[in-house]
Each structure stands twice: as structure tokens, then as C-alpha cells.
Amino acid sequence: MTAKKVLVIDDSIMIRKMVKSILAGKYDVLEASDGKSGLDAARRAFPDLILLDFVMPKYNGYQTLQAIRRVEGLQKVPVIMISGLKEQVTEHVPEPFTEFDFLEKPFEADVLVSRIQNFLIPEPVQSVPESVSRSTPAVVRELQRSEEPSLQMIVNRLTSTETLLVQGIENLIQREVVARFNELNTRIDRQDKDIETLNQRMEKISEQIDHQNKGLMLILRELKSLQGK
């Protein structure tokens, strides 16, 4: 059976590779680095689900979603919007979100898989043929049952730790950039006010000079009239 396709649209290569690692063996993962290339990839592949980052250059996640919804055949494809700054999403789309599901960064691997499985029916697990099961000693089968969950648990925990680490770093960088940007805007606003104050003072000085010039002109005229007499 053909694996279902999940399209990841995110400008972070680390997030894309991490998601691809988490979903490996479960889904066919496609990647796009921005809204435009994501729209093109969706038109070509018609994915079963789209994982869409909100904070991206040029086109944010909601603008990309609106463009995707205008494509015939993609109007109903499930979309999970991801972002480390939920308030940036709610500035454009008020809660509750109806056009998409939302997953806040950082998220754990099992949470991501669970969210995706809410929309996509997981691929059926092939059962072991009865003949093979009978030929396997009971002790070996018992060891397999006891060891496999432990190994899978370790892998899941390692993957979750890696996921949280990568997303935590990116979220920290993103918040730092936003903070620096806000600080820069504050400085620019302060400078604009200072410039406006300086311009007002210059205008007053110009008015005073103009007034003084007019007074001097009157004095000069009076002096000329006195000389003429």
C-alpha cells in the first residue's frame, strides 16, 4: 500500500529534517522551504496532510494556506499550523481555529505523530504469518515482546529529546530576534520624536529670524527717510 504523503513547509532546514526523521517509515515526507515553493509542491504532489510553519519570510503560514485553498483538489487537505509564537497567529486568525489545527513549538515527537494520525489513518501493520509464528520458539517470542517495546521506548525518548532541543534553540532565537526588532523599533520611534522636536525648534528660530529681519527692514527705511529730509 502506498504511504500517505505529508508536506512540510518550513524555512528551517533543521525542523524539516527533524520532522522527516520522526515520520520516517510511517509517511512519505515532502519538503518546502517557503510559502511559494510549498504551494508549488502541493500543486504537484497533492499531499494527504500539510505541516505548515506560520513565521516565514515573504509569505506567512496563513497567506500560504489561503493560496493553497484556492487550488482545485486542495481545499480540504488537513493543515497543521506550527509556531513557537501563538500570539503571532492569533493576530491574523482569532481563536478558535477552524481552518487548520494548531501545534505549538516545541512539540514532542509522539505528539506530532498523534496529531497527524488524527487526520490520517495509519498504515496497517502486516501480521506475522501463522506458520512463522508457530515455528518460533515460545521463549524467543517472549524475549522479542519484552525487548522490542524497551528499544522503541528508548528511540522515542531520544527522538523527543532531539526534537525539543532543536525546537527550543529555534524558538529562543526567534524570540530573541523579535525582542531585538521591537527594541530597534522603539529606538527609531524615539529618534523620530527627537527629530520632530528639533524641526519644531528650527521652525521657531526661523520665525524669530524672519520677524527680526522685518524689524531691521523697518529701521532701515526710517533711517533712509530721515537722511532724505
Cα–Cα distance for residue pair 107/167, rounded to 1 Å: 8
* DSSP calls for the chain: -PPPEEEEE-S-HHHHHHHHHHTTTTSEEEEESSHHHHHHHHHHH--SEEEEES--SSS-HHHHHHHHHTSTT-TT--EEEEES-HHHHHHHSPSSP-SSEEEESS--HHHHHHHHHHHSPPPPPPPPPHHHHHHS-HHHHHHHHHHHHHHHHHHHHHHHHHHHHHHHHHHHHHHHHHHHHHHHHHHHHHHHHHHHHHHHHHHHHHHHHHHHHHHHHHHHHHHHHHHH-
pLDDT at residue number 228: 67
pLDDT at residue number 6: 96
Neighbouring C-beta atoms of residue 80, cutoff 10 Å: 20
Q: What distance lies between CA 160 and its chain's CA centroid?
A: 20
Question: Has this prediction a pTM greater than 0.75?
Answer: no
pLDDT in tens, the chain (229 residues): 578 999 999 999 999 999 999 999 899 999 999 999 999 999 999 999 999 999 998 889 999 999 999 999 999 999 999 988 888 888 878 778 888 899 988 888 999 999 999 998 654 555 555 544 454 455 445 545 544 455 545 555 665 566 666 656 666 666 666 666 667 777 787 888 888 888 888 888 888 888 888 888 888 877 777 776 6
Taking the alpha carbons at both ends of the chain, their separation in whole angstroms is 116
Cα–Cα distance for residue pair 77/210, rounded to 1 Å: 70
For 95-111, give one letter per residue: b (16+ CB within 10 A) or e: eeeeebbbeebbbbbee
pLDDT at residue number 143: 42
